[in-house]
Chains A and B, each alone.
Chain A
Amino acid sequence: MNWINAIVQGVMLGGVYALFACGLSLMFGVMRTVNLSHGDLAVLGAFLVAVLAAAVGISPFFAVLLVLPVMGLVGVALQRGILSKALRTGGMSSMLATFGLAIVLQNVLLEIFSADSRSLEVGSLSTAGLQLGSSVSIPYLGVLTVVVAVALLGGLQLLLARTGIGRAIRATAADADTAELVGIDSRRVYAWAAAIAVATAGLAGAFFAMRSSFSPSMGPTQLLFAFEVVVIGGLGSLWGTLVGGMVLGVAQTVGAQVDPRFSIVAGHAVFLAVLAFRPQGLLGMRRSRT
């Protein structure tokens, strides 16, 4: 039964990882760039939610709803101020630029909030759950996280696959110059993609902060996990990102069940195994061009 419980907990953890990876996956899919400040933007989101909830005295869930549009604007600023120029320069410059932003963000957060860990109080929800038998418990917060992750990633996937806006985004991702020639404002598409990506990073940060303590320095670790999730699931597939999140979460909790020291290592091992045996990811397709 402990193993079943480990898997259940892994799926819940996977929900958070999938949320973390969602924006990274989207930004890679649309802008073909890896945003190295993604993890620190998630931490920024967590702090904004914590500060707002404490200052106004509202529930963190309500604070999240207010912080999401702010994070969206941060995404637009990131795109307009940093990425658009760096993407035009090409090569590594966009990754270097976001790496720089990551360091700045981390240090600003450290300066303001100190290195202390803190957590986001959600009252009884943090411990409440459904007890199944003697050893399996399903925390409500975990279920909520998974539901939000499935809705978000599934919703975005459907948006991309089925709607006119989605077509315009995919066309821009494939060839922005030509998208302009059929009437698509590619800069606006990029700005929207960045807004959604950063807002979901903030959402992931908030959900993470509700289940465990957080501090200004945790960004890079979350970025690494998100990166692993995207690669495990397959670049450019949002369903893959959801699956990748679950796989990484389960790998970590099952690893911890073997021995608590194996938790993180087990996750990395699965990541490396996917890279070695299925480099396009579990749900990824080999990309092709004309």
Chain B
Amino acid sequence: MSLLTVENLEVRHGLLRAVRDVSFAVDEGEVVAVVGANGAGKSTLMRAVAGAHQPAEGRIGLDGVDVTAQRAHDRVAAGIALVPEGRRLFADLTVEENLLVASRVRRPGPWDLAAVVAAFPLLDGLLKRRAGNLSGGEQQAVAIGRALMTNPRLLLLDEVSLGLAPVMVDTLYDSLGTILSGGTTVLLVEQDLGRALGVARRVLCMLEGRVVLDEPAGEVTREQVVEAYFGLSRAAVPDRATAATVQEEPA
């Protein structure tokens, strides 16, 4: 049975329909990548699954249980954890406090302070530091570690490589490799297509709020994904590609 089921999901920001009629399922242990241009609705989808944003329509199920009406903290207790875009650490808390504050849900599992530090060796020695004073890469490691501290069944990663030096991204993905191979079900948003196709077993591509491609990573070519990414297979709009790269990242 699927661990996560999303059915006919519609999520709005005011009048804007950021996610439209999205349906897909993720099996236990599967790693699924979500790709798409900026503004395609990836973050909105992730936040809706995590419960940070209430959908206007549709249903979200975790292991057969409808969690659509549950608030975010209840979904954490049920086993969904989101590493939000932009990290969103508690800047005035120490690294250790950022990690421990996420262990109050008391879900049983392998992740605790020691396990997180072992998985992210770059955090060794930083535990007493104020989280706001860390480098971007260190902060991202804390953000991932914080989500792991809840011992999730489903880990949602939203652009963990955003704004980081390539070397740092490699380090993070090395650490993630151990996590990904540990059987945790993962849904990840990744801008770097090569990396997304490398770690994921399946890839979903979003375009203007819809899922326009949902294929096993091994059976899809880079060209097919790029086409879906920019909506080139639909009536070709010449400036679609430039329009899609317009940045709207929050600070």
Contact = CB atoms under 8 A, between A and B. Distances in A.
Interface of A: 164, 167-168, 170-171, 174-175, 177-186, 287-290
Given A182-B150, A183-B104, A171 B90 contact: yes
A192 to B, nearest CB: 14
A174 B84 contact: no
Interface in B73-125: 73, 76-77, 81-82, 84, 87-93, 97-98, 100-102, 104-105
Contacts of B147: 182
Contacts of B100: 164, 167
Nearest to B80: A181
**Which of the listed residues B52, B92, B93 has the most CB atoms from chain A within 10 Å of its own CB?**
B92
In order of increasing CB-CB distance, the 10 nearest A-B pairs are: A183-B76, A183-B105, A180-B72, A182-B102, A290-B91, A178-B88, A167-B101, A290-B132, A174-B90, A185-B73
Given A164-B104, A288-B132, A180 B73 contact: yes
Contact of A181 (B82, B92, B93, B139): B82
Contacts of B71: 180, 185
A184 B132 contact: no
16 contacts: A164-B100, A168-B104, A170-B93, A174-B91, A175-B88, A175-B90, A180-B52, A181-B52, A181-B72, A181-B81, A182-B104, A183-B76, A184-B104, A288-B91, A290-B87, A290-B139
Given A180-B76, A289-B132, 16 more contacts: A171-B97, A174-B92, A179-B90, A180-B52, A180-B73, A181-B51, A181-B72, A181-B88, A182-B101, A182-B102, A182-B149, A183-B102, A184-B101, A288-B92, A288-B132, A290-B139
B50 interface: yes
Nearest to B131: A290
B194 to A, nearest CB: 29
B146 interface: yes
A168 B90 CA distance: 11
A112 B50 CA distance: 50
Contact of A289 (B82, B91, B149, B150): B91
Nearest to A164: B104
A290 B136 CA distance: 10
Contacts of A167: 93, 97, 100-101
A180 B150 CA distance: 12
A184 B93 CA distance: 15
B146 A182 contact: yes
A89 to B, nearest CB: 15
Contacts of B77: 183
B45 to A, nearest CB: 15
A181 B101 CA distance: 11
B101 A171 contact: yes
A25 B105 CA distance: 28
A175 B50 CA distance: 16
Contacts of B84: 178, 181
Contacts of A171: 90, 93, 97-98, 101
A177 B104 CA distance: 16
Contacts of A183: 73, 76-77, 102, 104-105, 150
A101 to B, nearest CB: 27
Interface in B122-150: 131-132, 139, 146-147, 149-150
A8 to B, nearest CB: 37
Contact of A180 (B51, B97, B98, B146): B51
Contacts of A178: 84, 88, 90
**Which of the listed residues B72, B89, B98 has the most CB atoms from chain A within 10 Å of its own CB?**
B72
A170 B90 contact: yes
Contacts of A177: 52, 72, 88
Contacts of B51: 180-181
A71 B71 CA distance: 28
A186 B74 CA distance: 11
A186 B72 CA distance: 10
B61 to A, nearest CB: 19
Contacts of A174: 90-93
A184 B92 contact: no
Nearest to B98: A171
Interface string B36-70: 00000000000000111000000000000000000
Nearest to A287: B92
A60 to B, nearest CB: 38
Contacts of B93: 167, 170-171, 174
A167 B99 CA distance: 10
